[in-house]
Amino acid sequence: MAIKTSGALSLNEIHAEVGGASGTTVSLNDTDLRGLTPASGYSINSTSGTQISIGDFYGASNAPSLVGYTTTTMSTIFDPTTGARLWDTTAGPQPGAISGIQNGDLCLLSVLYGQSTVNSIANVPSSSNTYNNLYSRGSAASYIYNGIMAWWIYDSTKSSYKVSSNLGSSSYRGYGLNGILVVFRNVTTLQGYGYASKVYTTADTYGSRRGDPPSVTGSGNSKLWLSILWSIDGTGSQGYNNSGYSLVNGDQSSGYTFITSKRMNAGQFSRSQAISYKIATSTTEDPGLWNPTTDYYTLGHTIGFS
């Protein structure tokens, strides 16, 4: 429930919006207060020690909000000795590249890569932010979705999560690797997650050609739902489209807000991925179909956070 929009406003009322007990110690400089989502026409400076006033909090709420995102494509980085494609641990998308990120924000990383033998997909030093793996898969088989889905809570005093991937000696290593990192505020707990592949169904030799993230029931009410699509080009009987197609705004599940998409390259078997979200409090969610305007072999993900 958002803070009231008019009348006398107390620090205690603001504290209550972030779950603080009435009458307990609170300061306008507290990180959770500065992390509230401002109402339209207002702004709340999230930087500790900067000027701020009680009036900035009229209509603010602890509802989830998108802080920002960043993407990368690493299909042109390669090992000069072996020719293997790499996502160098110094070059992946990092939370610090997102303007406005602050401690306690939720980071979600989606990594998708082409057909390859994966020697190492995760490099998480002991000093890093705590990393939670939702999904990981590596295979050299045709028409298989290779990648990881991971999340963590940002802590600026620790090193950023990084991915290290040597895409082996597979003949398909050149199809590259890409990543999307999104950051949200006011959500910290995973409530539910699922994924559904539409590859090799009996209805079609190469599977259904539209994304359909699964219905997910979480362990508690989620405030934020993510609908994510991983896809392989699918045009014609060979299952690829050399001209390429990127997932775009308008392709996403109905009722979801498109964030961004990333494509590896325009070559055959190239992978494309996109992320969308919906703010809604519920224990169960079924995003429904993504509907890209060209054929795809797809893997859909549904994730709920509170």
pLDDT tens, per residue, the chain with 306 residues: 788 898 899 899 889 888 888 889 988 888 888 878 888 888 888 788 888 889 999 988 888 999 999 887 654 444 444 544 444 444 455 666 788 888 888 989 888 776 554 444 444 444 455 678 888 776 545 455 677 888 888 887 776 555 545 444 444 444 566 788 899 999 999 999 998 865 434 344 444 455 789 999 999 899 999 999 987 765 444 444 445 567 889 889 999 999 999 877 655 566 788 999 999 999 999 998 887 766 566 788 999 999
> What is the model's pLDDT at position 289?
84
Q: In whole angstroms, what separates CA 247 from the centre of its chain?
A: 15
271-285 and 216-233 strand pairing: antiparallel
Residue 113: CB atoms within 10 Å: 29
CA Rg value for the chain: 21
What are the b/e assignments for 291-301, b being 16+ CB within 10 Å?
ebebbbbbbbb
Domain parsing of the chain, residue ranges:
1-62, 65-305
What pLDDT sits at residue 267?
57
Question: 114: which 2 tokens?
Answer: 């082409």
pLDDT at site 58: 92
| Cβ contact 207:125 at 8 Å | no
| pLDDT of res. 101 | 85
Contact predicate 256/228, CB 8 Å: no
pLDDT of residue 272: 81
| All residues at 6 or more sequence positions from 5 whose CB lies less than 8 Å from its CB, including other chains | 39, 58, 59
Quote the pTM value. 0.78
User: Dmax of the chain from CA atoms?
Assistant: 68
Check: CB of residue 84 under 8 Å from CB of residue 74.
no
pLDDT at 187: 93
pLDDT score recorded for residue 201? 40
pLDDT recorded at residue 172: 46
